[in-house]
A and B are shown apart, each in its own frame.
Chain A
Amino acid sequence: MTTGRLPTGLIAVTSLLLLLLALGAALSHSFIQPGNLLNVLEQATDLAIVGLGQTVVVLTGGIDLSVGSLISLLAVLTSGLIDSDASMVLPVVAGVIVLGALLGAINGLTVVWLRVHPLIVTLGSGAVLQGITLLYAKGPVGGVPDGFDFLAYGRVLGLPVAGVAVLLVFVIAALLLRLTPFGRYVYAVGDDPVAASLMGLPRRRVLVVAYAVSGACSALAAIYLVARFGSGQPYTGANYTLASITPVVVGGTVLAGGRGGVMGTLLGAYLVAVLNNLLNFLDVSSQMQLVVQGLIIILAVSVVIDKRRVVA
C-alpha cells in the first residue's frame, strides 16, 4: 500500500544527512570527532521523540498542534510534583506519561466526536493546555533530585543514554507499525478514511490511539527536557509545536496522511540536529542558521513531493 513510495523520502533524507556529514568532515576536523557526533545524537532526542508522535498522527491524516503546550504542562508537572524528592521520581514519571496519553486521547475523541478538523481541535486544546500550565506555574517550578539529569546527559559505555533509548523506541515503533494490525490500520485510515470505514476498520479507535501515542511522546519529551534543564518552565515546549512537523515532512511522511514512516522522522530529526551543530562549527550566525534550516526543509520536502507528482 505504501511500500512503493516510502523509500523516496528515506533516500532523500539519508542522502542529505550523508552529504552534511561529508561536508562537515571536509570543513571542520573537530566536527567529525566521535565525541561531537555523540553529542548530536543526544541533541536530537527531544525533536525525535515529539516527531515520533506527530508522525503517527500525520499518518492518520491528522495533525497535532497541541504538542508544544502539552510538553510545557507535563514539564512543569514533572518538576513541580517531584519537587526534588527522589522517592517521587518513579510515580510522577509514570503518572506524567499516563496523563500525556490521556490528554492525547481526549484530542482524538474530540476529533472523532465533533468531526472538527484536527488542526482546529488541537489548536484549541493547545491554547487550553497552555492556559492551565500558566495557572499552575508562572515561572520555573519545583526541581529534580541529583542524578535525574542522567536521562538527558548520561553516558553508558560512552554512548548517550537518551540517544540510544530514542533509537530503540523508533525501531520498536517502526516494527509495530509494520507488523501489527493497528499499524496497518493507521496507514489505511490516513490513505482513505472512507474506504477504511467501509472495510469495517476501527477508524475511530485508531484515531484515538494515534493521538494518545502523540500525547505519550510529548510526555517523554517533557521528562527529557526537565532532566536537561533541571526544572520545568511554563514555555518549555513552545517551540516544539511547529518544530515537530519538520522531521516528519523532511523524513518523507506526507501531510495528507497514509504515506511515510517513523524511520524517516528519526533521520529527519538527526538532519536538523546535525545541521544546527555543523552551522555552529562553521561559525554561521544563528540568524543565518534559520535561513539555511528553512531552505533545507523546503529542499528535502520538494524531492518527495516531486516524486509524488510524477506518480500521481
Chain B
Amino acid sequence: MRRRIVVSGLAAVFALASTGQVMADGYTGAPRTFLFNPATKLCFSDTAKYKKAGPYTLGFSNAGLGDSWRVVMLHSMEKAAAEHKDKIAHLLITDAGHDDAKQVADIQDLVARKVDLLIVSANTEKAVDPAVTRAMRAGIPVVMVDRRVQSNNFVTFVTASDAMMGRLFAQWIVEKLHGKGNVVILAGQAGSSPSENRVGPAMEVFSQYPGIKILDTVYSDWSPVKGKQVMQAVIAKYGHSIDAVWSAHGLQVPGSIEAFLEAGFKPGEIPMHTTADVNGPLQMALKYKIPMLEIGYPPAMGGVAINVALQVLNGARVPCTYQINSQIALTDGDATASVKPDLSIKDEVVPDGPADMLVTGGMGPGYNPSSYSVDYPK
C-alpha cells in the first residue's frame, strides 16, 4: 500500500516535471538515472507536512548570474512560473551577486516576506548552509537547484548527473572505435567538481578496454581559447593518430575543432567529439561532418525546480536528489549498441542562433537570452 502511494506520487512528480522540458522530440519520461538506479531503496522526502492550499508565494534565492548557463536557468524558472499562474501568486527572486553574506540576508528577507517555499541555488556549499537549515527549521520547505548546501537540510536537490555524462561519453567512444583507438581527454578546470566528476567515471569505462589508449589529458578551463591552445599542442604531437576527443563540456569544443581545422584536417577527417549544452559545437559538427554526442547539464532544471516545488506543496513525496533528464543527441548514423539518440543533433541545433547560446534550456524555438522576457507572477 505504502509502496503504491510512493509510486503514484512519483509518477505525478515526473509527469509534471517533464512537461517543463519542452524539448521538441527528446526524451520526456521519468529521469533515467532514477529508473536505472540499481539501489532497491532510495532516499525520499516526506512532504505531507508541507501540503497547503494555493495560490502560493515562492521565493528563489539565486547565487547570482554572470554566465549564460545561469541566465537560461533563471529564464527557465520564470517561464515555468508563468505557466503555473493559477497556482503561483508570486515568485519572489533575489540575486546575491555571488556574495555569501548577501545570500544569507536574501534568504532571511524572503522568509520575512512569508514565502510558502524557498528555492535556493547556493553560492557556496558551506556558508549558505546555516541560513537554509534555519529556514527549514522554521517550517519552510527548501528545494535546492543546481548548487546544494553541504548538509541534507533541504527537501530535495534538483540537479543533473555528471557521472552519467562522463560514462556515456566514454562508452560511445569505445563502441565507435570498436574497443581500439587513441583518445584525448579534454577536461574542464583541474580540480573543479563538474570536471572531475565526469572524467573519473569516464576513466572507469575506458579502463575496461585494453585497446583504448589515453594519449593525453589536457585542461581547457572551460574556455574555447584555452581549449584551442592545449589541443594545438596535442595535435602537433599526435596528429592523425587521434581517434576521439572526450570533452567534459561543450564550452571548449569550438576551440578544439578550430585547432584541428587549422592543422589542416578536412571536413570528415576531424575525429569524433563529445559535447554538452552549447550551440556552436553542434553547428560545427554538421558543417565539418564530425561525429558528435551531446549530453547536457540542462539549465531547464530551473523550470523543473518550480514543478517540483508545486509537488512539495501538494504533499507528494519527492526523491532527496532529483536528477533531471539530459537529452542524448547524436549526429545521424552515429548510434552505437549502448548509446541511442533521443533526438538528432540536426533537430537540436539552432542553425542561425549564436554559437555561444545554450540549446538545453527547454525554452523552445526562437528563444533569445538577451531579449527574453516573460510575464511571470511577481
Q: What is the interface of chain A, defined by CB distance below 8 A to chain B?
A: 30, 33, 35-36, 39, 42-43, 46, 140, 149, 152-153, 225, 228-231, 233, 236, 239, 273, 276-277, 280-281, 283, 285-287, 290
Per-residue contact bits, chain B 86-109, to A (CB 8 Å; 1 contact, 0 not): 000000111111011110111011
| Given A280-B94, A286-B96; A39-B127 close (CB under 8 Å) | no
Q: How far is the CA of A30 from the CA of B92 in the complex (A)?
A: 14
**CB contact between A229 and one of B92, B97, B126 (< 8 Å): that residue:** B126
In the complex, chain A residues whose CB is within 8 Å of the CB of B108: 39, 42-43
In the complex, chain A residues whose CB is within 8 Å of the CB of B64: 286
B129 at interface, CB cutoff 8 A: yes
Which chain B residue has the least Cβ–Cβ distance from A28? B113
Q: How far is the CA of A147 from the CA of B106 in the complex (A)?
A: 22
| Given A30-B112, A228-B130, A230-B129; A276-B105 close (CB under 8 Å) | yes
Q: How far is the CB of B99 from chain A (nearest CB, A)?
A: 6
Q: How far is the CA of A149 from the CA of B126 in the complex (A)?
A: 13
Interface centre among B106, B109, B110, B113 (most CB of A within 10 A): B109
B49 at interface, CB cutoff 8 A: no
| Given A33-B112, A36-B112, A140-B126; A277-B96 close (CB under 8 Å) | no
A280 and B124 contacting across the interface, CB-CB below 8 Å: no
Q: How far is the CA of A53 from the CA of B127 in the complex (A)?
A: 25
Q: Which secondary structure dominates chain B's binding surface?
A: mixed
**CB contact between B105 and one of A229, A239, A277 (< 8 Å): that residue:** A277
A286 and B109 contacting across the interface, CB-CB below 8 Å: no
Q: How far is the CB of A104 from chain B (nearest CB, A)?
A: 22
15 chain-A/chain-B pairs, Cβ below 8 angstroms: A39-B108, A140-B127, A228-B101, A229-B130, A231-B127, A233-B100, A233-B124, A233-B127, A236-B127, A273-B105, A280-B105, A281-B109, A283-B92, A285-B95, A286-B102
A286 and B95 contacting across the interface, CB-CB below 8 Å: yes
Closest 9 CB pairs of A and B: A229-B127, A286-B95, A36-B112, A280-B109, A140-B126, A43-B105, A230-B130, A231-B126, A39-B108
B99 and A30 contacting across the interface, CB-CB below 8 Å: no
Q: How far is the CB of B194 from chain A (nearest CB, A)?
A: 16
Q: How far is the CA of A303 from the CA of B261 in the complex (A)?
A: 62
| Given A283-B378, A286-B95; A149-B112 close (CB under 8 Å) | no
B102 and A276 contacting across the interface, CB-CB below 8 Å: yes
In the complex, chain B residues whose CB is within 8 Å of the CB of A39: 105, 108-109, 112
In the complex, chain B residues whose CB is within 8 Å of the CB of A225: 101
| Given A285-B95, A286-B96, A286-B97; A229-B104 close (CB under 8 Å) | yes
Q: How far is the CB of A110 from chain B (nearest CB, A)?
A: 29
| Given A277-B105, A286-B97; A233-B112 close (CB under 8 Å) | no
In the complex, chain B residues whose CB is within 8 Å of the CB of A230: 126-127, 129-130
A287 and B101 contacting across the interface, CB-CB below 8 Å: no
Interface centre among A39, A42, A229, A236 (most CB of B within 10 A): A229
Q: How far is the CB of A151 from chain B (nearest CB, A)?
A: 11
B114 at interface, CB cutoff 8 A: yes
Q: How far is the CB of B209 from chain A (nearest CB, A)?
A: 35
**CB contact between B109 and one of A140, A149, A153, A277 (< 8 Å): that residue:** A277
Q: How far is the CA of A290 from the CA of B100 in the complex (A)?
A: 16
B130 and A286 contacting across the interface, CB-CB below 8 Å: no
Q: How far is the CA of A120 from the CA of B125 in the complex (A)?
A: 35
B266 at interface, CB cutoff 8 A: no
B240 at interface, CB cutoff 8 A: no
Q: How far is the CB of B288 from chain A (nearest CB, A)?
A: 39
